[in-house]
Structure 1
Amino acid sequence: MNNEIESYRKHRNLKISAAELGISWQTLYVRLKRQGEPVTGDKLRYGSDRDRLGAVAESEFKRIVPFAIDNNLLKFQHGYDFDVLGYKVDVKSSHKRCLNKKYAAKSWSFSFKKQSLVCDFMCCFCIDDDKSTKHVLLVPSEFFKGLQSVSVSCDGDSKWLDYEIIESELAEFFSSLPSQSPCKAA
């Protein structure tokens, strides 16, 4: 492995790696691409608050479903997060928040617009004020196709809570699905 790949894998940041190597980030990018090195970044270390929240949920999903293939390691902003035994799964996360300042009711909101026509499942992590996971929802594609967003009321009165799954049952669920041919990269 050469110094450029080694530096990029260590930092997962073009600017920092390029500075360490004494070259421009553009030069490093071109060299990495020529060598077939995926330029994916690291949302946990360098992303916005939303990126970090998403990355934490993706890490949690990978911990719970260890046989899931993380597509974000293969390509930056992949069309969906995981290939799980041939099923396309995107992981979403949301903090509680007030969507309407007129009312005090809080909810978790998830944007499905990009993945709603691609994925077989959306796995939504509802994050509580103390940063713990309050609910994990696993929604099959039949119920979200074409939806732009989903809002889940924090007061427990939401049809989306019908799709709650216990974390410990997530891997077992995917293992029990009928065999499906492996996903092709989006």
Structure 2
Amino acid sequence: MCAIEVTPSLATERLLLRGHVPSDAERLCQLANDIKVAGMTAAMPHPYVAADAEAFIDRAIRQDWRTQAAFAIEHRQFGLVGGLGFKPAARGRTELGYWIGRPFWNRGYATEAARAALRWAQRDWRKKLVVAGHFADNPASGQVLCKSGFLYTGDVELRDSRARGQTVPTRLMVWLA
């Protein structure tokens, strides 16, 4: 029996969600090395240096696409504009996370990418439930999640922000297929 591993690629009107490649490192570093970006994520360090980008891409290339996914968000005209991923969460759930580089904020790219990724998770992974959260001081991310079909659970928990070096109140949300 022959097994062929295929990295998913998702296309929207303006974006391509694809697996990361080593040549993404420089652009990833440029966009992620911004405290306004990194500070709104849980795991991204600040400063974000070339070694961080290379290590992330190496992990993304080696990931098991059956249980997790790290997509590069590529704009058809501007190239790499951000990232989106699914990872295993508590109680066997799957959690969505994403970020967009500051030059590309307020253009609907995060919502467009999240909607495409959720359709993929439902179709290919047969997911009926996905969780997400956003830092309470980042209402724009909450709007992205709402526009993507997430609902607030009413729960708030403290989550680490690596870039900030502190815990931050996080509003939890759920998406149901």
TM-score (norm: length of structure 2): 0.31
Which is greater in Rg?
A: 1
Higher-strand-fraction structure = 2
TM-score (norm: length of structure 1): 0.30
